[in-house]
Amino acid sequence: MGNADYVYPSTNEYCQCAHPVAVPPPQPFFKSFKNSLKETFFPDDPLRQFKNKTPSRKFFLGLQYFLPILEWGPRYTFQFLKSDLISGITIASLAIPQGISYAKLANLPPILGLYSSFIPPLIYAMMGSSRDLAVGTVAVASLLIGSMLGDEVNATENPALYLHLAFTATFFAGLLQASLGLLRLGFIVDFLSHATIVGFMGGAATVVILQQLKGILGLQHFTQSTDIISVLRSVFSQIHEWRWESGVLGAVFLFFLLLSRYFSKKRPKFFWISAMAPLTTVILGSLLVYLTHAEKHGVDVIGNLKKGLNPPSFGDFVFTSPYLTTAVKTGMITGIIALAEGIAVGRSFAMFKHYSIDGNKEMVAIGTMNIVGSCFSCYLTTGPFSRSAVNFNAGCKTAMSNVVMAIAVMFTLLFLTPLFHYTPLVVLSAIIISAMLGLIDYEAAIHLWKVDKFDFVVCMGAYIGVVFASVEVGLVIAVAISVLRLLLFVARPKTFVLGNLPNSTIYRSVEQYPTTNDVPGILILQIDAPIYFANSSYLRERISRWIDEEEDKLKSTGETSLQYVIFNMSAVGNIDTSGISMLEEVKKITDRRGLKLVLANPGAEVMKKLNKSKFIETIGKEWIYLTVGEAVEACNYKLHTCKPDATNEDSQPWNSV
């Protein structure tokens, strides 16, 4: 980096390229406020489709917005039905054993897993905008419900109250989800970053796998805690109660499930093998227990499952203290986690098929299906990745695949539940472990380490918190670290020195482009963030330090003394009163040092506030330029055509706004 190749512009060149920086015309307060609200809550402009339409057409479009089935339903074809029929039957074969397994994970009656795979998919098929999302219960939410409700009520000692709390928590989860969508507050879910979700899901999967040692080893008594220390202590303190029959069965079925998944991954056209594997293990396990009477030799089975469709449960909600607080807290935390997973999965598959989904509409759909589900003996549901991936690979065309799955589950509830009597619990544990191994995404963690170390810290913070403390603690740690990083981005914005790229009027960071040339007598700084109260003090101190360092460098090399400080404000999208006060202080600092402060490329919002605060009059509107290049040319013109003392308050370059 140097200044030998810098070419000074001629007076004619400077005069021809100078352009004024405009102050936006004033807008009425209510119009400005309306535009701000629109940009905050309606960035996608969902009301655009209602413009210039008749009242009846607006009403129908409104129905289509909340019930997308009215939009794609009239265009539904027999070819779509064939594809959705295959997809629906395929995901039903996965949903039935997974539903039973995840209900056990939440310490709920197994039949609730089937109930939750019947009503919610029907609601989502009408209201959801994703073609690929397969609705059902998920392991992480089930674990959270079991952990958080278990801290308040023992599911074994008081099963009725525990069950009613689960319905109540699901109701509040749905209420929160639907409210976030209706109020256009979906951006709250974005605080769960990708790194947070990777770590949290991996930690939760690890905890779930460890807890399945109870079923694999046939243990009757097990800790209610979810941390790894408590779980391992519970396992190894009961070595004398380990049942080898259960362990052998679990190992064999787990090997079969992992082998089928590995085969389907290597040969994607055989995806149906891994999808059918859980149901196959249930059938084989049930037959084995029935034929060998293994239930009499230490192998626990599900037992009787109630026959029939979902009974109503809206009369079972618990709205009395002290349980109401527990239900609300559980519902809010599990609701946010389920919402983040469902929307992320839906967007992922929508990207593959080149269509888009409305996040707020999805929140309303997921929330509504949980509210309705909680009234009919269902617990929390969302769109799990594993089931949605099977739905996608099976070639689904619309959300009708969820209807087909619901019909298959309904048929099971009406006629087939007695067949699950002999299903061994160890099979359910093997199904859960197989599914959870896919959630430990170590490749994503390695990628985070390579790309962004701070994201890796967030990921590991979530993982370690979940595994060594609890699911709630891990979530709090991850969100806290993510928010801390967000605050650091705001409070400690990047500032860097710009230099001139050789043979051009382009100015870039001297760190990114070491070949840039210094401009003698001029320090060019770029502020890379909005200027707010949170970062104004830091920026004032950092700018003073940049000036000190530049002056020290010029003194040590004997080059031209510093005369101008140019701020490139192209990245400053906004500024508040604290930021304006900071600029006024910097202006005083530069004046005391005999330097001239120059602004380049301030945006419309910044110019509007600088004008209202009279700062433009303070700095002089002749010292505000459209580009860094114009500002440098003006300063160079002054340096080489005026006397050394011409940089006082009365001096003016040729450009004038």
> What's residue 580's pLDDT?
96
Radius of gyration of the chain (CA): 32
600 near 627, Cβ under 8 Å? yes
Give the burial class of 499: count Cβ atoms within 10 A of its Cβ; 0-12 exposed, 13-18 middle, 19 or more buried: buried
**Phi-psi sector, 45: left (phi>0), alpha (psi -120 to 50), beta:** left
Q: Characterize the bridge pairing of strands 522-527 and 564-568.
A: parallel
| C-beta atoms surrounding 492 within 10 Å | 14
Greatest pairwise CA separation for the chain in angstroms = 105
**What is the rounded CA–CA span in Å between residue 255 and residue 606?**
63
332 near 173, Cβ under 8 Å? yes
> What's residue 648's pLDDT?
43
Q: pLDDT (tens digit, 9 = 90+) per residue, 597-651?
A: 999 999 999 999 999 999 999 999 889 999 999 999 999 888 877 644 444 444 4
Backbone dihedral angles phi then psi of residue 498, each to the nearest 5 degrees: -105, 150
Q: pLDDT (tens digit, 9 = 90+) per residue, 489-512?
A: 889 999 999 999 998 889 999 999
Model confidence at 304: pLDDT above 90: no
DSSP secondary structure, 250-277, as one string:
HHHHHHHHHHHHHHHHHSGGGHHHHHHH
Model confidence at 407: pLDDT above 90: yes
Which of these, 253, 283, 284, 293, lies nearest to 416 by C-alpha position? 283
Confidence of residue 268 (pLDDT cuts 50, 70, 90): confident
Q: pLDDT (tens digit, 9 = 90+) per residue, 61-71?
A: 888 888 999 99
Percent of the chain with pLDDT over 70: 95
Q: Characterize the bridge pairing of strands 522-527 and 495-500.
A: antiparallel
The set of residues, in sequence order, having a beta carbon less than 8 Å from that of 360 and lying 6+ positions away, is 46, 180, 181, 182, 184, 186
Give the burial class of 67: count Cβ atoms within 10 A of its Cβ; 0-12 exposed, 13-18 middle, 19 or more buried: middle
- Indicate the range of 104-108, 110-114, 117-121, 352-356 predicted with least confidence: 352-356
**Which residue segments constitute the domains of the chain, with CATH numbers given?**
77-301+319-486 (no CATH), 493-639 (3.30.750.24)
Percent of the chain with pLDDT over 90: 53
Q: Characterize the bridge pairing of strands 564-568 and 596-600.
A: parallel
Tokens 């300063």 belong to 635
459 near 196, Cβ under 8 Å? yes
297 near 245, Cβ under 8 Å? yes
Mean per-residue pLDDT of the chain: 87
Start-to-end CA distance of the chain, whole Å, equals 33
The set of residues, in sequence order, having a beta carbon less than 8 Å from that of 319 and lying 6+ positions away, is 168
- 539-555 average pLDDT score: 92
Model confidence at 15: pLDDT above 80: no
Q: What is each CA distance from 433 to 108, 254, 465, 532, 643, in whole angstroms?
A: 18, 8, 20, 49, 80
> What's residue 1's pLDDT?
52
Q: Characterize the bridge pairing of strands 624-625 and 596-600.
A: parallel
411 near 140, Cβ under 8 Å? no
**What is the rounded CA–CA span in Å between residue 464 and residue 154?**
26
Alpha helices in 305-418 (DSSP H): 323-352, 359-374, 385-393, 400-411
> What's residue 258's pLDDT?
93
Which of these, 76, 117, 132, 130, lies nearest to 408 by C-alpha position? 117
> What's residue 358's pLDDT?
83
3-state secondary structure of 625: strand
Q: What is each CA distance from 519 to 162, 345, 464, 548, in whole angstroms?
A: 72, 51, 50, 17
3-state secondary structure of 379: coil
204 near 397, Cβ under 8 Å? no
Residues of 620-651 as b/e, b for ≥16 C-beta within 10 angstroms?
bbbbbbbbbbbbbbbbbbbbeeeeeeebeeee
366 near 358, Cβ under 8 Å? no
The set of residues, in sequence order, having a beta carbon less than 8 Å from that of 382 and lying 6+ positions away, is 135, 136, 138, 141, 338, 339, 341, 342, 366
Who wins on pLDDT, 384 or 41? 384
> What's residue 16's pLDDT?
45
Model confidence at 10: pLDDT above 50: no
Q: pLDDT (tens digit, 9 = 90+) per residue, 224-247?
A: 777 889 888 999 998 888 888 888
- Indicate the range of 2-6, 119-123, 254-258, 482-486 predicted with least confidence: 2-6
653 near 622, Cβ under 8 Å? yes
DSSP secondary structure, 459-505, as one string:
HHHHHHHHHHT-HHHHHHHHHHHHHHHHHHHHHS--EEEEEEPTTSS
| C-beta atoms surrounding 29 within 10 Å | 8
Two tokens at 529?
Answer: 């963030």
- 174-193 average pLDDT score: 85
